[in-house]
Chains A and B, each alone.
Chain A
Amino acid sequence: MAVLEVNRFLTELAGLYEKCKEGKAGKAVSLTMKRTDLKPKTRKQKKNKDEEKGESGKDSYCCLVRAKHGKKKISTIVSAKDHLYFLSACNTICKAHMDALKRRDRSKRKAKK
C-alpha cells in the first residue's frame, strides 16, 4: 500500500470514485481515518528547509487516511497543519461523487431498516 502525498492522494481518491461509478456493481469505495504516530513522509525534508517552526513536538500524532476500492488501496498521512486543507478538499470530492444517493423527494424514509 503506497503512502502518498496529500495532493496525490486526493487526485487518486477522485479517481477511485470515478472508477467506482464506471465499474460493475458490487464494489464500494471506503475511506478510513485513524489516528497514528507515523510521521508524514515529507517531514524530514521540510524540517531541513524551514528549520522546524516549533511545531514538530506538538503534532507527534497525525491522521492516517486510507482509501480502498476493490483491490486498489491508497493511503496518506495528514498532519495537523495540512488537515484543514485536506478536509475541505476531501469533502468536496466526496460530495461531488456521491451522486447515486437519493434526492429528498423520492421514497423519503426508506433508509430505515
Chain B
Amino acid sequence: MLLEWDEFAAKAEEMARRNPLHTRYVVKYKHAEGKMTLKATDNEECFTYKTNQASDLKKMEKLNRIMSAVMARGGDVDLDALEDQQAQGKGKGKR
C-alpha cells in the first residue's frame, strides 16, 4: 500500500509497537535512479513510501530513530527519554 508520508510514518510506528516481533522495516536506496523506498510490513499489512526528494531524508532519519528504538527496546519504549539521552551524548561529539 503506497502512502503519503504522514500516514506512512504513523502507520509504520503503530505497527511496530503493536507487533514488534513480526514487523520489519526496510530502507532501500537506488543510487542510479535517485530513489528511496521505505517499507514496513508485518506479513499481514504492508506500507510503502517512495520518494526522490532529498528533503525526505530528514523524515526518514526521524522514522529510523523511532523504528530502531522500538525494535531494540520493545514496543513500550519512551521516545522522549531516549531523545534526552541522545542529546546529552551529542554534546560530546560533533554533528
Contact = CB atoms under 8 A, between A and B. Distances in A.
Interface residues of A, number: 45
Contacts of A78: 68, 72
A28 B39 CA distance: 14
B25 A33 contact: yes
Given A30-B26, A111-B51, A94 B73 contact: no
Main secondary structure of the interface of B (DSSP, over half): mixed
Most A Cβ at <10 Å: residue of B20, B26, B69, B71: B71
A87 to B, nearest CB: 5
B34 interface: yes
A88 B69 contact: no
B33 to A, nearest CB: 7
Interface string B7-26: 00000000000001101111
B32 A24 contact: yes
Interface SS majority for chain A: mixed
B65 A87 contact: yes
B46 to A, nearest CB: 14
B27 A30 contact: yes
A62 B72 contact: yes
Interface string A9-37: 00000000100110011111111111100
Interface of B: 2, 20-21, 23-36, 50-57, 60-61, 64-65, 67-74, 82, 85-86, 89-90, 95
Interface of A: 17, 20-21, 24-35, 59, 61-63, 78-80, 82-88, 90-92, 94-95, 97-104, 110-111, 113
9 contacts: A25-B33, A26-B30, A33-B24, A33-B67, A59-B72, A91-B64, A91-B65, A94-B57, A110-B52
